[in-house]
Amino acid sequence: MAGTQLEPSSSDPMTAAHVDTAEVPSAAWGWSGEAPKTFRFFGWFFAAFLLTMIIGNHTGRVEDWWLVGSAALLVVILVRDIVIRRKPR
């Protein structure tokens, strides 16, 4: 009787960390974190990708300004993130 109380049954979910699923809904299916290195990589990737999209078959300059502006906004956000991470707390 005591052995069954100590061992979880196969139908009970096992929790590795004590995270309230009301606060973090993704903890219910086993992931409740972020991937900051991945997000930063894709931020730089898409900034470069937007700039390479300038090369194309369009004739107007409005598209170029939107692409450069969007890439510049991404770069500003990424540089701000680098500065914030380097400041001591």
For 1-46, what is each residue's pLDDT tens digit?
Answer: 555 555 555 565 555 556 666 777 666 666 656 778 889 999 999 9
Looking at this protein, which amino acid is placed at residue 75?
V
> By CB neighbour count within 10 A (0-12 exposed, 13-18 middle, 19+ buried), where does 52 fall?
exposed
pLDDT (0 to 100) of residue 18: 65
Looking at this protein, which amino acid is placed at residue 86?
R
